[in-house]
Structure 1
Amino acid sequence: MADNHDEVIEHYNCFHAAVYGPVGALDRKTRHLICLGAALGANCEFCTKYALGVLRELQASNAEIDEAISVAMTVGASNARLLAKKVRAENP
C-alpha cells in the first residue's frame, strides 16, 4: 500500500470532487448540510469546519445551518436514549 499512497490520495481527491462538485441529484448546499450533520455525528472537527466554511460560501442561512445541527443532534440523542433503554432492560 505504501508504494501507491499518492495514487490512493488521488483517487480520494477525485471521489471528493465528484461528491461535492456542481453536478448531482441534490444541490451543493443540501449536500454540504448533510456533510455538516455527518461531520457532527462523526465528531470530526476538521470536517465540521470544512462544511461550515463551504456553507458560508454557498450563502446558507443561519436557520438552515441550525436545522442541520438540530437534525444531527437528534441522531446522537436517539442513540443515547435507545442504548440506555437496552442496557436498563438487560440489567433490571
Structure 2
Amino acid sequence: MPDLYPDEYLKASEKFKQVAGPVNEAYKAWHTQAMNAGALDKKTKELIALGIACAIRCEYCIDSHTQKAKAFGATAQEVAEVIQVATIVNAGSTISYGIQALEHYDN
C-alpha cells in the first residue's frame, strides 16, 4: 500500500488546521466528546466508526479507526464482522436506491 499520509497531505492538513481555526477546534472537541466512553465503550465506538469509514470509503478514517479499535482491544474477528455488517448495510442501500430506478422506469 502506498504511503497513506504523504508529506504534501500532512502539510495541507496543518495548513487547514491553522486556517480553519476555531471551527477546527470545535470539531476536535465534538469528536472527543462523541468518541469518549458513555453508554458505548470506546472500542465499540471505534468499531462503529470503522464500519462507517468502510461504507463511505474513507481511507484515512479506515486507517485511524482500525488502529484505535485495535488499541482498545478489538480483535481481527471483530474487525472482520464490522466489515461484513458495513457491507450488508451498503448493499441494502444500493437495493433501496435501485428500487427507485425501477420506479423511474415505469413512469
Q: 2:82 aligns with which of 68, 74, 84?
A: 68
Instruction: Report the number of matched residues.
Output: 88
- The alpha carbon displacement at 1:6 in A equals 0.9
**Counterpart code for 1:75:** V
Whether 1:53 and 2:80 are equivalent positions in the alignment is: no
Unaligned runs of 5+ in 2: 1-18
**Counterpart code for 1:72:** A
- The equivalences for 1:15-54 within 5 A come to 15-21=30-36, 23-54=37-68
Distance in structure 1 (CA, Å) of the matches to 2:97 and 2:29:
38
Deviates more, 1:37-46 or 1:4-13: 4-13
**Counterpart code for 2:81:** E
TM-score, normalisation: structure 2: 0.73
Identity over aligned pairs, percent: 30
CA offset digits 1:31-57 (Å, max 9, x no partner):
011101111122111111111010111
Distance in structure 1 (CA, Å) of the matches to 2:82 and 2:45:
11
User: In the alignment, what sits opposite 2:6?
Assistant: none
Distance in structure 1 (CA, Å) of the matches to 2:72 and 2:55:
22
What SS is found at the alignment partner of 1:91? Answer: helix
Distance in structure 1 (CA, Å) of the matches to 2:91 and 2:82:
14
Whether 1:11 and 2:11 are equivalent positions in the alignment is: no
Unaligned runs of 5+ in 1: none
